[in-house]
Amino acid sequence: MSWRSALNSQSKHVELVIEGALSRDELMAACDRTFALALEQDMPLVLADCRMMSGGHNILDLYQLAKQLIEKPRVREMREAIIAAQDPEAREMLRFWETTCLNRGLLVQLFADREQAIDWLHSRAGALHT
């Protein structure tokens, strides 16, 4: 149950790495910190590496998190690429997260491959500031 977020100044995005099981509160703290860091740095691109995530939260938690995120200032400027979990149950939760965010107009996409995720994340990055 660990997470860390940091600025990747070379690639110009914020990277969130989640390992193990995260409780609802830990997941919310991870998202809050990551999105705040991205906006503080005026770098609204987030790469969430969830390959080693194993759950710890449920669908209702994800639904509530998306509901809270949409109320934050500038969140619609954000773009999040997610590298899918190896754990099948956690991967399904990430699919739910992707769908829930997309239904709210947030730019989120799930990937199996890190390079594809980074390519997508930066593919229209310039358009976010116009």
In CATH, what number is assigned to the domain containing residue 111? Answer: 3.30.750.24
- Alpha-carbon distance of 73 to 113, in angstroms, equals 30
**Total domain count for the chain?**
1
pLDDT at position 55 is 85
Q: Could you tell me the residue range of the domain that residue 87 belongs to?
A: 2-129
Its pTM stands at: 0.90
Going through the chain in order, the beta strands assigned E by DSSP cover: 2-8, 13-21, 45-55, 79-83, 107-111
pLDDT in tens, 71-130: 988 888 899 999 999 999 999 999 999 999 999 999 999 999 999 999 999 996 544 433
Pairing of strands 79-83, 107-111: parallel
